Amino acid sequence: MGILNGNIPLSNLCFQDDSLPSDTSIKQIGTEETVLKKFVPYAPNAENKLPLDEIQLERENHINYLKKGLEGLGSWGSSLDASKPWLVYWIFHSLDLLEYKFDKALIARSIETFTKWQSPTGGFGGGSDQLAHLATTYAAVNALAITGTKEAYDVLDRYKLYNFLLSMKQPDGSFTMHRGGEIDIRGSYCALSVAALTNLLTPELTENCIDFIARSQTYEGGIGPYPGKEAHNGYTFCGLAAMEILNGFSKLNVEKLVHWCSERQMRLEGGFQGRTNKLVDGCYSFWGAGDFPIIQAHVNSKDYLFDREALQEYILICCQSKYGGLIDKPGKGADYYHTCYCLSGLSVAQHQLQFHRHHSDEIEMGLRSLMWTCKNECVVVGDVNNLLAAAHPVHNITMRAFFLLFYCITIMSHSPNLSARPAKGILKKNKNPGEPTRLRWDEANLELTESQKDSTMKVDEPKTPYVRYNPETDEVLNLNEIPEIAYGEGSARCEPDEFTLDDDAGSSKSSVDGQKPRRRVSVSDDDWDMDEDEKTEEEEEEARKKHEEFLRKRANHYHMGGALRHPVDDNEETANVPETNESTSVPALPNHDSAMND
């Protein structure tokens, strides 16, 4: 499709005011005139027609413009002091869409900055010592995701973040933007997007959210900021994306929704307007076009529901500033907000995103974002180098950034040997098969485990060598069938109360007051050599004899033979079992490595 490769004269697509001019119609006609000046050289009937396939996205020009924004802003930026996380997100996301490679110094600088912007109460403020806000929290989490490093992920205090999100939650399912702040759909989307990305969705956080968003849909079909207000493309995207996270799309009036969203694409310009009878705006290239991948996943339509080529024509011809950056419409100046959302809309128009519905019912609500993939079918207007990276339709970060954050892995993990990686534990092993087996403590994982010691977890170990009962055959295994454990293997797994691997470390110390000392693990640069070849045969034989003697004495002590011959009374078995509450206030971190290996 497209505006410029069709057979319809451009004049036939212009607005007609029926000789009844108004302020709205006058502004619309004026906007169309500026767009026509840009379009005419590419029009089918132009005398010296310029070829559409030579239209270029000025990639390097835009990258240079964006990089300057990271060096410092002029005095005009003082009004955006409370929007600093947004500025970083807009610039980072734009660079990521342009496939700019972030250097280590920039990543380290951003991590240090966001650490200062994180509020002691959870979430992120607009700057240091500023009140935590859902919008800036959304921008901060997305910006950290774009860096694609574990160090960036570790900045997030998930427990305080969850408490902050829950404190913004209202009984009717809405969210306030900050303490004592306004309520609208933006808060719902920002909170739910952050919760989904950080695996913090809980029934308490999502209760009544679907109903609140559904009540915000207007008679026109779009979604307003809250019930009873006019539909707006920005709020419509926020509502749709939140509904996708919650799996609540079916609660909306889909027929009216599709009609309203389709009507927002302008007939001549090809871009999108924000509301009925408003002007085209480059930022709505995303807020408008971004609705359709989500809608497309839930309706039976093989055709795309908006003109992808027409939108690309508007962005590439009318929205590129010669000084770098992208703009609202011809005659306007570039800024980072419009650069971000013009490029985001261009990416949406180029890529065809697919939602795997046949798997969506098999996963938890918060993991629906994992079901999106990018099909190998692209529509690119102009030069082939205009193709941008694909963005996630719900979170508006690149697909690469989304999976890096969710799985908490680094870019190097995307290697052919990924499937061969062992499951992560508290011990690190040397991955070179030619070298002796070496082990060392994984301090990061131990620290993570320590931070979650107050949580209730269910540990499932179906392959443990100590299981003596086979539930499939309802038989107790013979003691001879229990695998033997080599001497030293069990001690290598255990976690001492206090242990050090430094050369100058002393022996274990007991606390003065008789209480159990606090666990500490210190790791030196030298690895702990656990080469089994150094174990002597005499030690192994002695260990085997001790183990057999222990099993025999334990069986006699507990009368295991008699216990197995007499079934246990159900009442006796459960009489002294206390009731436990397995629910946690904050979900445990997902096992990222095992998830990727699967």
Q: What residues are labeled active site?
A: 232, 275, 278, 281, 283-284, 328, 335, 338
Contacts of 375 (CB under 8 A, 6+ apart): 351, 352, 353, 354
3-state secondary structure 152-163: HHHCCCHHHHHH
CA nearest 388: which of 430, 342, 357?
Answer: 342
Contacts of 173 (CB under 8 A, 6+ apart): 188, 207, 208, 209, 210, 211, 212, 213
DSSP classification of residue 245: H
CA nearest 10: which of 438, 313, 439?
Answer: 313
Beta strands 498-500; 520-522: pairing state = parallel
Q: For residues 76 and 333, is the Cβ–Cβ distance under 8 A?
A: no
Cβ of 182: how many Cβ atoms within 10 Å?
A: 12
DSSP classification of residue 326: B
Give the N- to C-terminal CA distance of the chain in Å, as an integer: 41
Rounded to whole angstroms, the Cα distance separating 177 from 414 reads: 37
Alpha-carbon 215 to chain mean position: 27
Beta strands 372-378; 351-355: pairing state = antiparallel
User: What residues form DSSP beta bridges with 476?
Assistant: 469
User: What residues form DSSP beta bridges with 429?
Assistant: 439
Q: For residues 523 and 443, is the Cβ–Cβ distance under 8 A?
A: yes
Alpha-carbon 570 to chain mean position: 46
Determine whether 247 is exposed, middle or buried from the number of CB atoms within 10 Å of its CB (0-12, 13-18, 19+): middle
Task: Find where tokens 């700019």 sit.
Answer: 100
Rounded to whole angstroms, the Cα distance separating 369 from 193 reads: 10
The torsion of the CA quartet 527, 530, 536, 537, rounded to 10 degrees, works out to: -170
Q: For residues 4 and 43, is the Cβ–Cβ distance under 8 A?
A: yes
